[in-house]
């Protein structure tokens, strides 16, 4: 018999297979279109009878990934207006199990909960009620517009967490034992939620994979981005102005603007976005997001939250290797870029070369950019929480992909198939190459389940020893790995 659950909005019907009940496409807020476009998330309308929750719901308007990432990162498109929806995997409707809420990545402009690797069956199999959510992306979710609340995509995430708070017990989950987790923009969302007053009390633990608390722009930068977008569409940078434009045309314009910034990343023109290339990331508006997440966390935000945070060894290769950009970087470009990021060129290159013997200039630049964007922001959160004596665990994923003659390494998003124990999911092999090691997936997934369930992943907290669990061909915890590179960024990032 198909499982039926009573939610605050009405009854939903799922499907059970191999002992796991799955409910997909459940609305947690009203469709953000028409009069609700560019508004804060509004309550979804209740329904009569039983609503089928058998297929993923509509995905947020977004462009395709730019070539060549469009061939490596699956990004399903499902039409429809009910884009503020979520999915639940549960092993037992009658239990009170720990809950994991997954926030997808995609640079705040791509992605959805329907990406195959995000299937939550393995978590449910291991005693965790798994929830994945959609939220507004790009300009719809993050453009700073007069007459509209800022950071609407983050407000969507809060609305989804409130739905979890009110409904997850009916699916066998414990509303007082919720972990939020995400990768890339999803991890940046996790740290933003840790910094947001509206999200206080909605989760007990947090997992941030390859994303941390530095990625938020100022209001001034956000206004410049919105003005440039509106100008390209021939409207005013207001809620009414952009609401008069079809969402498809807005997506096309935001994609063109992002490519324009990437082609000419001038900090005088584009502020913080010139460095991280995310034109629609959250902004520090003073209300929804009162400060940069890292600054709020330093000040004590989410002191009652356990944290698991980490990065991959070769994060930035995903953005340089597939298109061959890494092979076009020579020593002159490398030295110029190292200096542009504030490092002492001679000292930094000596340390990076020692840590990566035989690396070509493009590989060294990839390491520098990856550390600036991902590693150092993650360590800054771990460091400040260590000073505050808060429960914090750090990992590093080091298993290298075999693709592109090995140049891809332990690239961005590669760990997902392992942490989800979904190495056979469609598209995973586009990053891993053939025959990724199941034993590593067993180890990583077990650690994630342990953290969600108990607050400890199975290794020592970061602490004064700077203990890091390194996952690779031979996994184990080390004290302060890569210290010679880490110290280069002191006072810079």
Which residue numbers are catalytic? 184, 315, 412
Q: Which helix (H) or strand (E) segment is 444 a member of?
A: helix 438-454
Q: Which helix (H) or strand (E) segment is 223 a member of?
A: helix 219-233
How far from the centroid of its chain's Cα atoms is residue 124's Cα? 21
Distance CA 210, CA 374 (A): 6
Tokens representing 252 are 């096309």
Instruction: List C-alpha distances in Å: 236 to 147, 155, 222, 244, 270.
Output: 11, 24, 14, 10, 19
Phi, psi of 102, rounded to the nearest 5 degrees: -100, 130
257: nearest Cα among 236, 273, 238: 273
State the DSSP code for 282: -
Tokens representing 69 are 């990432």
What is the CB-side half-sphere exposure of residue 298 using CA atoms within 13 A?
13
Please say whether the beta carbons of 118 and 87 come within 8 A: no
Which residue has tokens 């000419």?
264
DSSP secondary structure string, 152-166?
HHHHHHHHHHHHHHH
Residue 166: Cβ-neighbour burial (10 angstroms; 0-12, 13-18, 19+): middle
Q: Kindly report each contact of residues 43-47 with a partner whose C-beta sits within 8 Å and lies 24 or more positions away, as own/partner.
A: 44/9, 44/84, 45/9, 46/8, 46/9, 46/10, 47/9, 47/10
Instruction: List C-alpha distances in Å: 242 to 332, 367, 430.
Output: 43, 39, 37
Tokens representing 460 are 């020592």
Q: Is 468 helix (H, G, I), strand (E, B) or coil?
A: strand
Distance CA 423, CA 426 (A): 9
Please say whether the beta carbons of 90 and 124 come within 8 A: yes
Asked if the peptide bond before residue 68 counts as cis, ω within 30 degrees of 0, the response is: yes
Phi, psi of 259, rounded to the nearest 5 degrees: -70, -35
């Amino acid at each position: 018999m198909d499982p039926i659950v009573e939610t605050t909005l009405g009854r939903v019907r799922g499907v059970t297979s191999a002992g796991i009940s799955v409910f997909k496409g459940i609305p947690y807020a009203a469709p953000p279109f028409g009069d609700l476009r560019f508004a804060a998330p509004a309550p979804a309308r209740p329904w009569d009878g039983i609503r089928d929750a058998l297929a993923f719901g509509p995905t947020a308007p977004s462009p395709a990934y730019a070539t060549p990432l469009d061939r490596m990162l699956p990004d399903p498109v499902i039409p429809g207006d009910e884009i503020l929806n979520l999915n639940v995997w549960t092993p037992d409707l009658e239990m009170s199990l720990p809950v994991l809420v997954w926030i997808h990545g995609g640079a705040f402009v791509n992605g959805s909960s329907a990406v195959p690797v995000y299937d939550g069956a393995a978590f449910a199999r291991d005693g965790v009620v798994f929830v994945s959510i959609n939220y507004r992306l790009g300009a719809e979710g993050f453009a700073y517009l007069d007459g509209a609340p800022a950071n609407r995509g983050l407000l969507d995430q809060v609305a989804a967490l409130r739905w979890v708070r009110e409904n997850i017990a009916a699916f066998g989950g414990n509303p007082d034992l919720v972990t939020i987790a995400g990768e890339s923009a999803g991890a940046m969302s996790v740290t933003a939620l840790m910094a947001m007053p509206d999200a206080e009390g909605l989760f007990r633990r947090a997992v941030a994979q390859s994303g941390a608390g530095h990625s938020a722009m100022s209001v001034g930068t956000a206004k410049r981005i919105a003005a440039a977008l509106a100008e390209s569409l021939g409207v005013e940078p207001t809620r009414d102005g952009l609401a008069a434009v079809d969402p498809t045309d807005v997506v096309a314009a935001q994609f063109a603007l992002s490519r324009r910034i990437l082609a000419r990343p001038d900090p005088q023109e584009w502020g913080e976005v010139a460095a991280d290339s995310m034109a629609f990331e959250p902004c520090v508006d003073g209300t929804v997001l009162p400060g940069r997440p890292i600054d709020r966390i330093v000040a004590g935000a989410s002191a009652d939250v356990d944290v698991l945070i980490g990065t991959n060894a070769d994060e930035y290769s995903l953005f340089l290797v597939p298109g061959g950009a890494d092979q076009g970087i020579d020593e002159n470009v490398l030295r110029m870029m190292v200096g542009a990021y504030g490092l002492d060129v001679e000292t930094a290159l000596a340390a990076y070369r020692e840590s990566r013997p035989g690396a070509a200039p493009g590989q060294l630049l990839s390491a520098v950019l990856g550390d600036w964007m991902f590693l150092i922001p993650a360590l800054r959160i771990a460091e400040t929480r260590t000073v505050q004596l808060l429960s914090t665990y750090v990992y590093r994923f080091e298993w290298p992909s075999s693709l592109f003659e090995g140049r891809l390494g332990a690239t961005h998003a590669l760990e997902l198939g392992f942490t989800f124990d979904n190495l056979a999911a469609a598209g995973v092999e586009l990053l891993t190459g053939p025959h990724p090691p199941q034993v590593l997936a067993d180890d990583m997934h077990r650690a994630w389940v342990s953290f969600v369930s108990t607050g400890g992943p199975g290794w020592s907290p970061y602490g004064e020893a700077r203990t890091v669990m390194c996952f690779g061909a031979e996994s184990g915890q080390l004290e302060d790995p890569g210290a010679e590179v880490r110290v280069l960024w002191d006072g810079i990032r």
